[in-house]
């Protein structure tokens, strides 16, 4: 089964090629618009089955490591880049998540995009996205990872801008593409430095020779890798693109925010754990980034009124928890991966639930205009509710088993930083419970507040709700299955190291668990009491500077515009002016001088003999005069 590993990538890639090329005039007669969505879903479904088979085949291997070299890609001097596949415990769990949740999102999209004329193209983009993510996590070297990294960036641009006739979608896609390029530059430079210092870019070659690098080089490489991770995972200071990605269709939001793109940064740090573990400075910076980002997501999520925007900022926050975990290092690496996997289930379910609500409410997303929808959409309400309980971390759902240990390990970090990171994670848990309860109550409970143009809110068709049911089951059980008896930690040990319990705890685990649950319950009850009767349907004047800042995304866009965008535009204009008037002016001036001089000299060549004779006479007179003058001297 492991020998067929390449098919896991090849199937969705082939599906993308067929679906996208089927729009060309010679191939339109194939009628792909009628069956393309089935092909796109089937390719990912078969990839998932192959991934399951490969997982069990890997489990039977004593070393839990399989590597397959496919062909030589760049054989240039000392740079030898081979295209190869690496299937180990870390890549295995990511492949299962990508293909499994990706398949459910494909099936859901069959119903969600049923009336869209571009459905064939949409499924082609989805297949391309999944194939690029699989290249990213299955490659055995940094160049293969970078190829998948850029493929994901391209596919995300195409998906976010799918409704390109909408200015918001086109703008959001460009914003995502540009901000991701900032992070990609960091990743590219890190790869250059690794090759320059070690002469290799394979994982085995780099990680086995980390000790040969100076401490400064290790820190620089780690921070450059972190920059790339921040761009792809929407972490501070490159988080502004992620919420705007909601401009795409809801299945795109689920795919980007739950199981694929935003997890790439976490995968990169976990995969490069030997580099990060060798630099305490880099690990501290990762923790700082994670703590800041999780607080940013929680604060802004409390102030948003659009259903998908709230969920988008919850993604920013939850990825912040994962960064905090992998930044803590040691056994917390596995905790970050566990939360990532659980998040893949409950966040995908929440986004698909949001799409189901919007499907039955004529694409409205303003939670102030919902209310009482549990009566009309019972399946959506139950599945969404289970995802809600999972994300706020109530036992026995998945978030409790994955997020609470991260909070515990954050407090256990030595020194005062442990109190800072642990306090931020605990406060984030309370804020998450508050804004998610606000979302749940305003959408599904209380009195109906929708407008008169919505006559009959309705449940989504079965092709949409049964993937939500499967994800809800995962939201309930995934955390326990992953964390039970250190099962996931033991599985990931060959890549991330053996799990071990902290020698001492700053806060006794039982007390901390009770505290976290208490904070979550109090915040949830407070939000329920505050919003059970609904909220104002119209925008109200806001005087609190904190609310104003949260509604303006903590001025992240204003900062980027003032510090980066406008100076960049002015610098571009200055360079264009200097190029056109300076460089081009010099070149054009020289050409004009030569041309003008030659035209004036050309006038002396009249073609008349008398003119040439007169010129010769003047010349002879001048020569004679010069000789006479020389003789007098």
Does the structure show a pLDDT above 80 at 539? Answer: no
Residues linked to residue 306 through DSSP beta bridges, in sequence order: 366
Mean pLDDT for 386-392 is 92
| pLDDT score, position 291 | 93
| pLDDT score, position 368 | 84
Does the structure show a pLDDT above 90 at 455? Answer: no
**Bigger pLDDT: 552 or 472?**
472
| pLDDT score, position 220 | 94
| pLDDT score, position 222 | 94
**Bigger pLDDT: 76 or 214?**
214
| pLDDT score, position 482 | 65
- Identify which of 53-67, 272-286, 474-488, 581-595 has the greatest average pLDDT: 272-286
Q: What is the 3-state secondary structure of 154-217? A: HHHHHHHCCCCCCHHHHHHHHHHHHHHHHHHHHHHHHHHHHHHHHCCCEHHHHHCCHHHCCHHH
| pLDDT score, position 52 | 93
Does the structure show a pLDDT above 90 at 626? Answer: no
Confidence of residue 151 (pLDDT cuts 50, 70, 90): very high
Of the candidates 262, 24, 243, the one whose C-alpha atom is nearest the C-alpha of residue 124 is: 24
Distance between CA atoms of residues 27 and 157, nearest Å: 25
| pLDDT score, position 424 | 93
Percent helix, strand, coil in the chain (nearest 5)?
A: 75, 5, 20
| pLDDT score, position 435 | 93
Give pLDDT tens digits for 184-201: 999 999 999 999 899 888
- Identify which of 32-41, 125-134, 580-589, 608-617 has the greatest average pLDDT: 125-134
Confidence of residue 245 (pLDDT cuts 50, 70, 90): confident
Does the structure show a pLDDT above 90 at 532? Answer: no
- For 153-167, 295-309, 405-419, 450-464, which range has the lowest pLDDT when averaged over its residues? 450-464
Does the structure show a pLDDT above 80 at 390? Answer: yes
Residues linked to residue 68 through DSSP beta bridges, in sequence order: 85
| pLDDT score, position 519 | 94
| pLDDT score, position 483 | 63
Does the structure show a pLDDT above 80 at 428? Answer: yes
- For 100-109, 216-225, 613-622, which range has the lowest pLDDT when averaged over its residues? 613-622
Does the structure show a pLDDT above 60 at 538? Answer: no
- Identify which of 57-71, 451-465, 469-483 has the greatest average pLDDT: 57-71
Does the structure show a pLDDT above 60 at 537? Answer: no
Mean pLDDT for 239-243 is 85
Confidence of residue 12 (pLDDT cuts 50, 70, 90): very high
| pLDDT score, position 396 | 85
**Bigger pLDDT: 454 or 71?**
71
Does the structure show a pLDDT above 70 at 490? Answer: yes
Phi, psi dihedral angles at 206 (to 5 degrees): -75, -50
Give me the chain's average pLDDT, please: 86
Does the structure show a pLDDT above 70 at 27? Answer: no
| pLDDT score, position 10 | 93
Does the structure show a pLDDT above 90 at 238? Answer: no
Determine whether 183 is exposed, middle or buried from the number of CB atoms within 10 Å of its CB (0-12, 13-18, 19+). Answer: buried
Q: How far apart, in Å, are the Cα atoms of 208 and each of 87, 211, 220? A: 18, 8, 18
Share of the chain above pLDDT 90, in %: 34
Confidence of residue 33 (pLDDT cuts 50, 70, 90): confident
Of the candidates 627, 521, 495, the one whose C-alpha atom is nearest the C-alpha of residue 65 is: 495
| pLDDT score, position 541 | 57
Does the structure show a pLDDT above 80 at 242? Answer: yes
């Amino acid at each position: 089964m492991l020998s067929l590993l390449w098919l896991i990538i090849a199937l969705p890639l082939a599906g993308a090629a067929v679906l996208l090329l089927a729009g060309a005039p010679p191939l339109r007669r194939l009628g792909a618009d009628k069956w393309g969505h089935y092909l796109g879903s089937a390719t990912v479904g078969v990839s998932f089955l192959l991934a399951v088979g490969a997982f069990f085949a890997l489990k039977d291997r004593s070393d839990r490591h399989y590597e397959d070299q496919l062909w030589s890609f760049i054989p240039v001097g000392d740079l030898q880049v081979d295209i190869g596949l690496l299937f180990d415990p870390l890549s295995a769990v990511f492949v299962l998540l990508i293909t499994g949740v990706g398949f459910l999102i494909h099936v859901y999209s069959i119903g969600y995009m049923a009336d869209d004329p571009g459905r064939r193209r949409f499924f082609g983009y989805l297949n391309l996205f999944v194939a690029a993510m699989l290249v990213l996590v299955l490659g055995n070297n940094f160049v293969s990872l970078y190829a998948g990294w850029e493929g994901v960036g391209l596919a995300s641009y195409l998906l976010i801008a799918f409704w390109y006739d909408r200015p918001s979608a086109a703008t959001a896609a460009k914003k995502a593409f540009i901000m991701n390029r900032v992070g990609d530059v960091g990743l590219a430079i890190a790869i250059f430095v690794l090759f320059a210092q070690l002469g290799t870019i394979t994982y085995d070659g780099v990680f086995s020779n980390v000790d040969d690098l100076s401490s400064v080089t290790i820190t620089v490489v780690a921070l450059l890798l972190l920059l790339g991770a921040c761009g792809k995972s929407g972490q501070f200071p490159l988080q502004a693109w992620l919420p705007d990605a909601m401009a795409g269709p809801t299945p795109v939001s689920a795919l980007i925010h739950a199981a694929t793109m935003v997890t790439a940064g976490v995968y990169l740090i976990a995969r490069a754990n030997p580099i990060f573990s060798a630099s305490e400075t880099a690990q501290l910076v990762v923790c700082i980034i994670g703590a800041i980002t999780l607080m940013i997501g929680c604060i802004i999520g409390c102030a948003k009124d659009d259903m998908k925007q709230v969920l988008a900022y919850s993604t920013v926050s939850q990825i912040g928890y994962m960064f905090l975990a992998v930044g803590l290092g040691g056994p917390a690496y596995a905790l970050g991966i566990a939360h990532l996997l659980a998040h893949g289930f409950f966040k995908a379910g929440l986004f698909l639930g949001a799409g189901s609500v919007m499907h039955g409410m004529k694409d409205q997303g303003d939670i102030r205009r919902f209310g009482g929808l549990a009566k009309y959409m019972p399946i959506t309400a139950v599945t969404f509710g289970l995802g809600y309980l999972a994300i706020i971390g109530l036992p026995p759902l998945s978030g409790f088993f994955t997020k609470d240990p991260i909070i515990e390990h954050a407090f256990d970090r030595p020194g005062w930083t442990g109190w800072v990171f642990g306090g931020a994670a605990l406060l984030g848990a309370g804020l998450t419970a508050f804004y998610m309860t606000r979302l749940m109550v305003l959408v599904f409970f209380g009195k109906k507040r929708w407008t008169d143009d919505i006559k009959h809110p309705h449940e989504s068709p079965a092709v949409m709700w049964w993937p939500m049911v499967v994800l809800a089951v995962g939201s309930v059980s995934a955390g326990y299955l992953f964390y039970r008896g250190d099962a996931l930690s033991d599985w990931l040990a060959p890549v991330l190291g053996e799990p071990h319990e902290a020698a001492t705890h700053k806060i006794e685990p039982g007390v901390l668990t009770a505290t976290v649950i208490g904070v979550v319950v109090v915040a949830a009850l407070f939000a329920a009491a505050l919003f059970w009767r609904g909220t104002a349907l119209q925008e109200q004047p806001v005087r609190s500077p904190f609310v104003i800042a949260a509604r303006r995304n903590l001025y992240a866009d204003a900062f980027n515009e003032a510090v980066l965008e406008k100076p960049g535009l002015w610098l571009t204009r200055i360079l264009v002016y200097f190029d056109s008037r300076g460089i081009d002016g010099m070149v054009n001036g020289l050409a004009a001088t030569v041309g003008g001089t030659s035209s004036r000299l050309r006038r002396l060549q009249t073609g008349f003999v008398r003119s040439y004779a007169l010129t010769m006479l003047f010349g002879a007179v001048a020569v004679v005069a010069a000789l006479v003058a020389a003789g007098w001297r």
